[in-house]
Amino acid sequence: MSTVVISGASRGIGLELARAYAADGWRVHACCRDPAGAEELAHALEGRDAQVHPLDVTEASAIGALAAALSPEPIDLLINNAGIFGGEQDFGSVDYASWEQVWRTNVIAPYRVAEAFVPHVAASGLRRMAFVSSISGSIASVDAGGGYIYQSSKTGLNMVVVNLARDLAGRGITVLALHPGWVRTDMGGAQAPVSPEESIAGMRRVIAESGPERSGTLWDYRGERLPW
């Protein structure tokens, strides 16, 4: 039996990740800001080997408390999924307060969660960390401006992933950045072409196929390696 911790599991991609791993027999620790309000998550995990935990990823004390509560349980896979898009990001009208909040959520928080769970992941059989990033953070793929907040945050996250891959290699931990596709969620919108189920199936395949030789790289949900 393998165990996974997932952040931002109340809806969207995180909810589907929790549902899919639990249905596949994994032990799931699904984290969200408001467990009492996460009815769809509770329903998805009914009868499964799963627990829902309160976690606002921008709260350092909450991260520490969860890591302590789960210690010394080995965690095979940590998925840093929670993320936000932010407000106005066009040149000349950037929302600075939002920019700071997005960096706290999308860049600093995933690092902090990873740092807290290194002992759990290092003690597991699989030893994997996956970070839900985006092609939007790929500097090589930028074709327009006006993406200061979200795009810079995912570029920052990608650099966190590369650094973690180097720092955690000695403990046998594989660290991956993933692009889920443009997915039909609250963030992706109703016109997005990829269903959460298709995205999650693809990302799960990439995670399962990725050993240490892939640590510190960016992959899309279809199994294609993406440029930084």
Ligand X SMILES: NC(=O)c1ccc[n+]([C@@H]2O[C@H](COP(=O)([O-])OP(=O)(O)OC[C@H]3O[C@@H](n4cnc5c(N)ncnc54)[C@H](OP(=O)(O)O)[C@@H]3O)[C@@H](O)[C@H]2O)c1
The 41-60 site mask, x for binding ligand X (CB under 6 A), equals: --------------xxxx--
Q: How many CB atoms lie within 10 A of CB 118?
A: 19
In which order are the strands placed within the sheet that holds 27-32?
A: 50-54, 27-32, 3-6, 77-80, 128-132, 174-179, 217-220, 225-226
Peptide bond between residue 196 and the one before it cis (omega within 30 degrees of 0):
no
Q: Applying CB under 6 A, does 35 fall inside the site for ligand X? A: no
The 132-171 site mask, x for binding ligand X (CB under 6 A), equals: x-x-------------------------------------
Tokens of 188: 């992706």
Q: Which stretch binds ligand X (CB under 6 A): 22-30, 43-51, 111-119, 185-193?
A: 185-193
To the query of whether residue 150 is one of the catalytic residues in this protein, the response is yes
Site residues for ligand X, 66-105, by CB under 6 A, read 81-84, 105
Out of 21, 96, 148, 150, the active site residue is 150
CB 52 within 8 A of CB 30: yes
- In the complex with ligand X, the residue whose CB is nearer, 109 or 173, is 109
- In the complex with ligand X, the residue whose CB is nearer, 37 or 211, is 37
CB 124 within 8 A of CB 78: no
Which one-letter DSSP state was computed for residue 132? E
Interacting residues toward ligand X by CB under 6 A? 7-8, 10-14, 32-34, 55-58, 81-84, 105, 132, 134, 180, 182-183, 185-188, 192
